[in-house]
Amino acid sequence: MTQDLVRSLFAAEFDNSILDRMDDSATFELEGRLAFTTDCHVVSPYFFPGGDIGRLALTGTVNDLAMTGAFPLYVAAGFIIEEGFPRESLGRIARSMQEAAAEARVQVVAGDTKVVERGAADGIFITTSGLGLVPPGVNITGSAASPGDVVILSGTVGDHGVAVMSRREGMRFETAIESDCAPLGELVRRMLSASDRVRVLRDPTRGGLAAALNEIAASSGVAIEIDEASLPLKPEVGAACEVLGLDPLTLANEGKLVAMVDPEDAGRVLAAMKTSPMGAAAAVIGTVERADRPRVYVRTAAGSRRALMMPSGEQLPRIC
């Protein structure tokens, strides 16, 4: 049955010449510096407004590749499926995963499927690993932020977190809040062709912007100040956060990136971002400062400055 499932569903959907060989591992030629990453996806519910676990698993991994400046190329996917999971749902998930792969211009070239007994998994879990190629001269790392750098965010915060939460809580909002779940490789390509002084890229997924900025501040040994008033936020997401008692700065995003860019190139990079649908709402949100110890601050709309801490514990379990 697994053989049949793999051939008729996964292989048929992901169809490409490398996968079709059905060997024990995928083989291909690559030359240069590689980026390699892996990610587990356990989001609940597995269908949510704006996406599903398949799209999320694909984009999560290609975005981690893109955050090192790599061109994502190949993905391997592992599926852990609970006995009794509807085949129709599995088909939908595989299809949306392939649609995201086509958007990201990557191929799913290897995979594995395990079915576990009822109760041993919650529907479906997906692990994806990705391989990408870093163009020569590109060296993007979380430890490269330096004082004076401009902090740019590619779009609105909190959309994914609120979309998943609202479905989980059975909430209905006047405007449908959809996950931002999307591949960012093309946006990164545009940024890197506008400037060779993009120093840091990070996708603020679990833990949101608060976690991403605190990680960067710690790796780079700098302070980062962001300006609350300049943060792109959809009014309906802001309203939902108030109702649910959530801080948009700690909510997961799945189609956004934060960048630290040399001040001289910031305008050029921002303009390049705005030419991509993924960066249409991009904005400068802050600056990197010299500091004795790593810190992240928020300049509030009222003009005061508060520390933005690393979110402790898991505010929203199984958000991705």
Segment near Mg ion (CB under 5 A), from 159-167, 201-209, 259-267, 278-286? 201-209
**What secondary structure letter does DSSP report for 311?**
P
Using CB under 5 A as the binding criterion, the count of chain residues that bind Mg ion stands at 2
Are the C-beta atoms of 67 and 138 separated by less than 8 Å?
no
In whole angstroms, the minimum distance from the beta carbon of 144 to Mg ion comes to: 16
Are the C-beta atoms of 73 and 106 separated by less than 8 Å?
yes
Instruction: Choose between 123 and 311: whose C-beta lies nearer to Mg ion.
Output: 311
Instruction: Choose between 149 and 203: whose C-beta lies nearer to Mg ion.
Output: 203
Instruction: Please state the separation of Cα 278 from the chain's center in Å.
Output: 12
Residues 6+ apart with CB under 8 A from 274: 280, 282
In whole angstroms, the minimum distance from the beta carbon of 15 to Mg ion comes to: 28
Instruction: Choose between 159 and 203: whose C-beta lies nearer to Mg ion.
Output: 203
Q: Which tokens sit at 32?
A: 């240069």
Instruction: Choose between 54 and 142: whose C-beta lies nearer to Mg ion.
Output: 142
- Give helix 185-194 / helix 53-66 axis angle, nearest 10°: 20
The one among 64, 159, 215, 265 contacting Mg ion by CB under 5 A: 64
Instruction: Choose between 64 and 149: whose C-beta lies nearer to Mg ion.
Output: 64
The one among 203, 215, 225, 265 contacting Mg ion by CB under 5 A: 203
Give yes or no for residue 254 binding Mg ion (CB under 5 A). Answer: no
Q: Which tokens sit at 4?
A: 């049949």
In whole angstroms, the minimum distance from the beta carbon of 205 to Mg ion comes to: 5
Q: Is the dihedral of CA 236, 240, 242, 247 positive or negative?
A: negative
In whole angstroms, the minimum distance from the beta carbon of 60 to Mg ion comes to: 8
Segment near Mg ion (CB under 5 A), from 58-66, 146-154, 213-221, 251-259? 58-66
Instruction: Choose between 13 and 215: whose C-beta lies nearer to Mg ion.
Output: 215
Coil, helix or strand for 217? helix
Segment near Mg ion (CB under 5 A), from 82-90, 150-158, 195-203, 239-247? 195-203
308 vs 250: CA distance, rounded Å: 10
159 vs 12: CA distance, rounded Å: 32
| Closest among 30, 34, 66, 55 to 191, alpha carbons compared | 66
Residues that bind Mg ion (CB under 5 A): 64, 203
